[in-house]
Amino acid sequence: MVANVTWPTDSLWPLVNNLGLEVIAVAEIQEPIAVMQTTIPFSLHGREGTVTVSYESNEDPEAWGYGLLGLTWPISLAQGLPVLTAQVSSPLEGYAAVMGWVQVVRIHVSESSTSLVANGEKAPPGDHSWVDGPPHLRGLGVPFVSFGPCPTLFDAPASTESDIRFVADSFLTASPDALISRRSQACVGFRWGYSTEKGRQPELLPLSPLDEDDWTQALPVLGETFPGWDFGSGWLS
């Protein structure tokens, strides 16, 4: 998400951040990408709900609020990259409807990648992963991108690097006791992202559902980043 405007390993370079859907090569189309929308079902506390995901190319960063962020680099670096909104619908109410979005980001930085910012520091090449989150919650021990009754996930990443592959695993999580203990377990998830290459337009990666094995693979980085939390294995239903 755009919240990750600084490299999580404390380097100074900023890097922000199939359900029948095909890979979208932005370079191959002339008009802005139409909004893609899909609905993913889930079960929580014995009730059925849905997550409706809207996924499109960012043709106007200003319209998505980038102008308010006070960034030190041009907001045009978000243009052509994804804009994603995931809205939760559930018959649950009150404390029973309290959930949190947890997002694990994996980025591959090519050896040939260069900074798109004048005098910017090049990102370390190779594979990197971290738990995403907004800057104002960083260091507070909060694992969520968003939290509350039927929370909405919004993300619109930008990149200051020329050649990367960004993959985000977004999990809707909840606690068996709503909000009493520091426990959070996934009940549904999906994967999305983008890739960039110097001299070419960005490519949005296909939106695809995640399963319990994907949540299991996310547990090590979640446990390392938030040792005070218990992230249960398997889907919570």
**Model pTM?**
0.87
* Mean pLDDT (whole number) for 196-201: 94
The pLDDT tens digits for 60-99 are 999 999 999 999 999 999 999 999 999 999 999 999 999 9
Contacts of 226 (CB under 8 A, 6+ apart): 131, 141, 143
- The model's confidence at residue 120, banded by pLDDT at 50, 70 and 90, is confident
Least confident of 13-27, 122-136, 180-194: 13-27
Residue 125 has a pLDDT of 96
The pLDDT tens digits for 101-119 are 999 999 999 999 999 998 8
Domain regions of the chain by residue span: 24-225
